[in-house]
Amino acid sequence: MDFSRGKQQPAYYLVVVWLVVLAVMNGAGMLFEKFGLSINVSVLLEEITVLLVLWLLNHYWLKVRIQLRTNQSFGAQVRVNGFSLFLVVFFLSILETQLAHGKSVNHVAVMTAMALLVAIFEESLFRGVILVGFLQRVGRGNAVWLAVLLSSALFAASHLINLSHQSVSMTIAQVLMTFGLGLLQSATYLRSGSLIWPILFHFVLDTQALVRGGLMPKQNIPAWSGLIPLVIYGTVALILLRQSKRAEVVARFKN
């Protein structure tokens, strides 16, 4: 498990990139709001900005290869993503129900575009760059699971910023849920070898959530509710990244 390419840079560079991207996101958001733009337009521009910054940082500094194509058969990819595809169908059925209850076409279109940008950005950052970056830098032993846990922890911690506009209990639930989601998304990316699958699931998940509640959801949920998806997602991730599959993952992402 000696990833010589990743060894050229220390692992904390990945944390630095995470902090830089968060700072750019917050700064861009405040800047666009000062221009008097609506919150929807501000968030769309913010996502485009951080996507560009992430591309520049990775292209000229980290140089982690983000994999969209894989040599695995389509059938093998579907089997790996079976649980996620089941949830995709489930969330699409929820979305269809919401559309039937009077959500405007404009609202749905804006939220869908926003969900797509968020999915591409977050999966590119946390799975495409940070997860594989840690995998290439943490060395031997439990490299796969250590990388998964570190990248998922950063993914979950990023959602603490939501304390600025929602309750503590809802934010804690969201942090727990996103940690579990990070485990699942990491496992499906590492096993399938294509970031398209995590992006698809993330896109559908966020689309139905944004169409239902918008950018500033008014509902509140107890903190413990985040444990349910954490346990479910984490269990699936444990199965996907069982001991017998880790050598395959290492071989796929060593360069």
The Cα–Cα gap between 44 and 49 comes to: 9
What is the per-residue pLDDT for 201?
97
Average pLDDT in the chain: 89
The Cα–Cα gap between 23 and 247 comes to: 36
User: Is 4's pLDDT higher than 50?
Assistant: no
pTM: predicted TM-score of the whole model, two decimal places: 0.92
What is the per-residue pLDDT for 210?
87
Check if the beta carbon of residue 93 is closer than 8 Å to that of residue 207: no
Which range has the top average pLDDT, 25-34, 39-48, 104-113, 126-135?
126-135
Q: In percent, how much of the chain has pLDDT > 90?
A: 65
pLDDT tier, 100 (very low <50, low <70, confident <90, very high otherwise): low
Structure tokens at 105: 């076409």
CA-CA-CA-CA torsion for 83, 88, 90, 92, nearest 10 degrees? Answer: 180
What is the per-residue pLDDT for 192?
96
All residues at 6 or more sequence positions from 255 whose CB lies less than 8 Å from its CB, including other chains? 5, 65
The Cα–Cα gap between 80 and 75 comes to: 9
DSSP 18: H
DSSP 218: -
Check if the beta carbon of residue 201 is closer than 8 Å to that of residue 185: yes
- The residue-averaged pLDDT of 91-104 equals 76
Find tokens 């250590």 and name the residue.
Answer: 146
- The residue-averaged pLDDT of 179-200 equals 97
Amino acid 140 reads: R
What is the per-residue pLDDT for 151?
97
Check if the beta carbon of residue 250 is closer than 8 Å to that of residue 143: yes
User: Is 83's pLDDT higher than 80?
Assistant: yes
pLDDT tier, 115 (very low <50, low <70, confident <90, very high otherwise): very high
User: Is 124's pLDDT higher than 80?
Assistant: yes
pLDDT tier, 94 (very low <50, low <70, confident <90, very high otherwise): confident
Tens of pLDDT, residues 231-249: 999 999 999 999 999 888 8
Helix ranges restricted to H, the chain: 4-7, 12-34, 39-57, 74-80, 82-99, 105-122, 132-135, 143-158, 168-192, 196-213, 227-240, 243-253
User: Is 125's pLDDT higher than 90?
Assistant: yes
- The residue-averaged pLDDT of 154-175 equals 90
Check if the beta carbon of residue 125 is closer than 8 Å to that of residue 154: no
Burial of 156 (0-12, 13-18, 19+ CB in 10 A): buried
208 versus 119: the higher-pLDDT residue is: 119
Find tokens 């069982």 and name the residue.
Answer: 242
Tens of pLDDT, residues 14-63: 999 999 999 999 999 888 888 888 888 888 999 999 999 999 999 999 99
pLDDT tier, 2 (very low <50, low <70, confident <90, very high otherwise): very low
Q: Which domain holds residue 127?
A: 4-253
The total number of structural domains that make up the chain: 1
pLDDT tier, 1 (very low <50, low <70, confident <90, very high otherwise): very low
SS3 label, residue 193: coil
